[in-house]
Structure 1
Amino acid sequence: MTDLAVEVRREGADQADQEDALRSLDGWLRADETLAGRLGTRITATTPAPADHMGTGFDVLELALGSSLSTAALVVSVLQWQLSRRRAPAVVLSRGDVRVELSAEAARDEAALRRVLAVLEPDGEGARDGDGSAS
């Protein structure tokens, strides 16, 4: 089951660049000790690759959260990855029908981050701090 999906968007980037960014993010999340053993990841495609396309067409990283992992902790790790990039791409986070796009500038805005978490947290858990602890 996918709890959260992440897309990476950069102006002028081709499909291979998008896939590389998703693989980088996947590696970042797997290396994050605060998420260790509590997160499942899968890079996948939302639509089939065009017939004349040589790549796999992967365009989304699906994340399955373990029972002890908050959405807030995961979102903070994703945004840390985003801000660590030389040219930080926009990151689109989605849960079900809810989609939120965060530019690098918005990722640095604490109020914007709180609003994003309030929208993405299931069952009203959005009133948590960025580290996943209750406020």
Structure 2
Amino acid sequence: MHEYALQVDPHSAGQGPETELRSLLLWLKEDESLRRDVRGRIRSGAPTPTPAAGGTPMGSPGFDLLQLTVGSGLSAGSLLFAVLQWQASRRRPPALTVRRGPYEITLTGDEAADPEGLRRIVAALEHGSGDEGGDEGRADDGTA
């Protein structure tokens, strides 16, 4: 199993981060090639609000993080392809940050036109958790 965290850039989210993430999760669940291998939940990526001087919480954080658990039989490339398809289907595709282990990659949707860039992104996501077969000996700043 692999863990991914996906977050929508709130400045590019046309309908708001929570709505965009719900749309993405539904998209992944409806994809026949993914639905058995992908489990997800939407939660707040913001830290817990601190109480104000009067002891009441200062606002409530929105839900802006999609946590995915992906079966080991599903490649990062398949997941990336589905996410890019979802972005392409949006009227105003939001920028989406994908994290796995130490790697963080921001997808704008333009990546679909760059085969070499896609290969680098998939390689980073495939080995992002330090799994066996990763790039332990390679110097890398964690970005693609």
- Between the two proteins, what is the percent identity of the paired residues? 41
What CA distance in whole angstroms lies between the structure 1 residues aligned with 2:120 and 2:4? Answer: 16
The aligned counterpart of 2:141 is none
TM-score w.r.t. structure 1 length?
A: 0.78
What CA distance in whole angstroms lies between the structure 2 residues aligned with 1:12 and 1:6? Answer: 14
TM-score w.r.t. structure 2 length?
A: 0.74
Structure 1: gaps spanning 5 or more residues: 126-135
Could you tell me whether the CA contact under 8 Å between 1:118 and 1:124 is conserved in 2?
no
Q: Which has the larger radius of gyration?
A: 2
Structure 2: gaps spanning 5 or more residues: 50-56, 135-144
1:102-129 superposed Cα distances (whole Å, 9 cap, x missing partner):
212233322211111111102458xxxx
- Aligned runs of 1:32-43 on 2, under 5 Å? 32-43=31-42
- Structure 1 runs of 4+ off > 6 angstroms? none
Deviation at 1:17, TM superposition (A): 0.8
1:116 pairs with 2:121: yes
Q: Would you say how many aligned residue pairs link Structure 1 and Structure 2?
A: 124
1:100 pairs with 2:105: yes
The aligned counterpart of 2:17 is 18
1:52-90 superposed Cα distances (whole Å, 9 cap, x missing partner):
545x52111111111311111111101110111011111
* Secondary structure of 2:16's aligned partner: helix
* Secondary structure of 2:62's aligned partner: coil
Matched to 1:6, the amino acid is: L
Q: Which has the higher helix share?
A: 1
What CA distance in whole angstroms lies between the structure 2 residues aligned with 1:13 and 1:73? Answer: 23
